[in-house]
Amino acid sequence: MIGTPNITPASWLMILTLGFVWGGTFMVQALALETAPPFWVAAGRIGFAAVLTGLIWILRGARMFTSEDRDWPMLIAVAILSAAAPFMFIAWGQQYVTSSFTGVAMAAVALIVLPLAHFLLPGEQLTWRKCLGFAIGFAGILVLMGPKAFVSTGAGMEPFGRLSCLAAAGCYAVSSVLLRRLPPMDPVGLAAATLLIGSVVVFPMAVLSHGAPVHPGTQWLILIAILGLIPTAMANLLRIIVARTAGPVFMSLTNYQVPLWSVTLGVIFLGEPLKASLLWALVLILIGVGLSQWGALRRLFAKED
């Protein structure tokens, strides 16, 4: 039985953490793509995370389903849609599109989740406030990215690269809803299963597409370790916890943060200029979050009797 979403202060902290972590991921992945083909970057990232999470899962007793309900087909679908497919789509698409377009595509996850959750999950029905909030938040992303997000790179495969990024967004949206529909499971076991099953899909695709791996050097190994540990292993567990408890609509707020954090980190660490668009985007996104999550925010700041 699927309960109504339970949004707590910990839920807000987790999506803020996810937004920050994933905001810096594209920059690290872009560096990794300079040293290895895209599917081997995806394979190295998911493989490292799968081994690490799998070991933790075994040490915790290797529990998976925690009730009599079993749904292996849906678990396999979740693994492919939440790890294997989007990792490959993004890694391949980033070769031909701007990082700004990738950010806009990931923000589209929130808009895709809304109708899916409305029809498939209790307690996630569409309201005028929620729709308006998400629309204003997405407008904030468009202001942040600006026209450059849609300027052509000149690459012949750019249209397919854009479709690949949008396909990744669709995968994340569908998998977030399916995560909520899975029977009771140990969160670490679920995280390990998604990454292990995803690895079984990604590694053969890497071999078929690029051939046997060639040692790319120490830099690639360091970058893959960073990608595997923080934005994959750790973030995958947090994503599962949030989607399972607070729901996929709340979870999708992370996708509005990702490009915002990406630009902010560029200003802080790369010396990029602070543009007015960042401040306007922040205002719009905060307004959007406030409208779409009014009830959760009111409970969060309500004074105890």
Contact 293, 250 (CB under 8 A): yes
Residue 108 lies in a domain: yes
Mean pLDDT of the chain: 85
Residue 261 lies in a domain: no
pLDDT, tens digit, 9 for 90 and up, residues 140-164: 888 877 777 677 777 788 889 889 9
In terms of residue numbers, what domain contains 175?
9-125+158-255
Write the burial class of residue 285 (CB in 10 Å: 0-12 exposed, 13-18 middle, 19+ buried): buried
Residue 112 lies in a domain: yes
**3-class state of residue 37 by DSSP:** coil
18 vs 152 pLDDT, higher one:
18
Residue 272 lies in a domain: no
Residue 106 lies in a domain: yes
CA distance 239 to 241: 6
**Looking at the predicted structure, is the pLDDT value of residue 265 above 70?**
yes
Residue 273 lies in a domain: no
Distances, alpha carbon 188 to alpha carbons 61, 117, 194, 234, 277, in Å: 10, 24, 10, 10, 39
In terms of Cα–Cα distance, which of 283, 185, 278 is closest to 240? 185
Residue 130 lies in a domain: no
- Count the domains in the chain: 1
pLDDT, tens digit, 9 for 90 and up, residues 123-143: 788 788 888 888 888 888 888
pLDDT, tens digit, 9 for 90 and up, residues 154-196: 778 888 988 998 999 999 999 999 999 999 999 999 999 999 9
Query: 303 pLDDT band (50/70/90 cuts)?
Result: very low
| The pLDDT of residue 301 | 60
Q: What is the DSSP string of 178-236?
A: HHHHSPSB-HHHHHHHHHHHHHHHHHHHHHHHH-S-----HHHHHHHHHHIIIIIIIHH
Mean pLDDT of 30-48: 87
Could you tell me the pTM of the whole model? Answer: 0.84
